[in-house]
Every structure is written in structure tokens, then in C-alpha cells.
Chain A
């Protein structure tokens, strides 16, 4: 029983981190109709940045984490300005460009960081006894707590602020939004940066638990894509529920069925969603 609860907890922790990463994809899809195939690479880069900032440069992990996310935000802005902006309205070219970018970044990561997994230092050590049932690593609990705070701030940002309102206006009707004075180019750029930063956030949160490797990036992108399709494209709530469902299923599946086929569960879910409910749990039926 306590074993089962531990796998469940692992699933929930992975689930909220999945949700953050998936919101990054969903935000960009919702606003720009662009799928960022380089999402997983941004996640990996953030993990390596936080490792090198804290281990090689000796910064405190507490400073290294936000700094890495900020670098990924800038990288996202740079990508949007140089490569993505000219493709607006041409779905095919944006798919091709972000796919090529993912290969370029993956190979760049192999050259810069090497093929070995790297793990930034833990902020906390030890474990806490959860309700007298099982012991759970403090670092994981910390990542979980931070993830919840981040999810809440994203919800606040999208639902309550002027930026969030502009974002939602653009996703609903781009032409109308610019008529009422929303600067959609600026919103696009910032949202792309924000989407990238969310990939980076998930990366720095996960890296102390599961070390990152350059070759792991496509699995990370896929997890985020499955969550987005499962939750429904463009739905924030869908990302959270979808992230949790996938996190729990993957951890249970890995524990009780097969570790090697961990990522297959996601693909099976993707196919089932496409067969039975292609618009996703919370998406709008076209």
C-alpha cells in the first residue's frame, strides 16, 4: 500500500511539472497556431544552465534557477524574432522550422554540454515522513511546492492581468483584438518567450530529481504534446488535468507494467484521444 502511495505521489509531482511544461506549448499553440518542436530542447538547456551556473560558476542554486529560466526566456524571444515571426500564417513552415531548430539545438547541446547526464545540486537534502506512510525526498517536495506556486501565478497572469486578457483576446479573434488596440506582434513575442520560459521552468525543477541529457529532449516534447492534446488545445485547465493524468499513468505503468515502455503509455493515450475525443477533455469541439 505504501508503495502504491509513493508511486501515486511521484505521479502527482511529475504531473504538476508536466502541466507547467505543457502550458508552455499550449500558450504558443493557442496564440500563434505554432507548435514549438524545440520545446524539449529548451527544457534540457535550462537544466544544463542551472547545473553550470551553480556547479561551474558557484552561484547559489536559488539564484541559478531563475537566472536559467530568464536566459531561456531571452532565447525564446530571439527565436520568435528571427525565425518564427516570418512564418505566421504558414503552418507548414513553422512546423518545419521548429523541427529543424530542435535538431540543431539538440546537436548544439551534445557539443556544448557533452552526452552525459548532469544534475544540479539539491537545495534540500533528506526526506520527510508523509502521514506516517512513507518517506519522501525533500527536494521532490520542494519542487512540488514550487510547481504549485508557479501554476497559481500562471493562472493569475492569464485570468487577471491585462497581458492575460490580451492573450485570450488574440487566441479568440486576432483581427478583432488588433482592432481594439492589442499590439499582437508584441504579445506574440512575449508569449513565445513565456512559453519557452515555462519549458525552462519545468527543466530547472526536474533537473535536480532526474538528470537531463541532450538525447532526452524528444521524449520531453512528446510528453508535453500528449498533455496538450489530452487536455484540449489552448485549455489551461486541460494542461493541469492532462499533466496529472499522464504523470500518474506513466509512473504507475512504469512501476507495475514495464519501465522500458514508460513513454508508450503517453502515445497510447494520444491515439485513444484522437479516436474517441479528438478535441480533448476541455477543448472546444470545432
Chain B
């Protein structure tokens, strides 16, 4: 969706996608290291068994035999290990399937790939709302997520704030970044004002 609305060549599209989405390399590395360790252990034990030397940790054959004819103590251990493995598996599946978007959005620009953080959008919205409502900088706050932006304004006592005008100003300012940011703007006015 976002990559179709902003153009650019393949490299720029690739940079944009890599900036907006979180890398999965950490999870992949950890999983691979664990896999390598287990494989190395099984290999080592097999070689030791073939040579006839004493096992390093435990003989794989003994482990399998114990697992197939479980006693009471081993059942609890096996259950704990199973639960840990299930949790790890669920975490890995979630990491693999999640969209992994960062709090950033690509914006169209004639040169290069431009990606902006949602905090920038929120700060821009708060600034626009502050100057439109005529309140000090600290009286407005905003949060932005995806294409929707929520602005909260605490008015100054005795100075009426026009909610529609504030929304229009925020929409106008955000549309200058990219027209899709100004589509969903919500302005909330506080009931009580502050003195200054």
C-alpha cells in the first residue's frame, strides 16, 4: 500500500521497506545458533559412541530409552521442557508471521527515500494545533499511529478554542507532509483550561 503510493527506483523502494519494517535477523540468528549447538552435540556424542569413549553429557541412546520408559521424576522434567519449547515455538512463529512494522512512514520525495517517524508527525500536529488554538506549546499533545492522529488541546482559561479550526489547521499541516496523514485527525478539547 505504502510502497505503491510512493514511487522511486528499486533501491529506494528496498531502502524504504527495510526502514519501515523491523529486521528478523536477530531471531533467525538465535534459532540457528541453537540448532547448530544441538546438531554439534548429537554429532559429538555419535562419534564418541562409535569410538567407544565415555559420553560427553549423556549417551543419546540412554536419553531416548529414558524418555520412552519414563519414571515419575522424568515426567515432570519432560513436561517443563515441553512447556518451554512450546513457548519458544509460539514466540518464533509470532515473530515470523507478524508484519513487523516500525513506527515510521515513507513519504514521497523527488530525490531519495524519505522515511519519517510517527513522533515527527505527532509533534507537527501538536505544533499546528497549538498555533491554531493560540495556546502555549506545552498545552497541546498528540499521538500518531499509522494514518490516524489524535490531538489533545488544553485551552487557556477565557480564550475559546474553535475545535473545527484546530482540526482544519492540523489537517492542512499534515497534508503538507503527505496527503494521507491528514485524513484521520481527531481533536479533543479539555474541559478545564489552564491560566497561562
Bound pair (A, B) = no
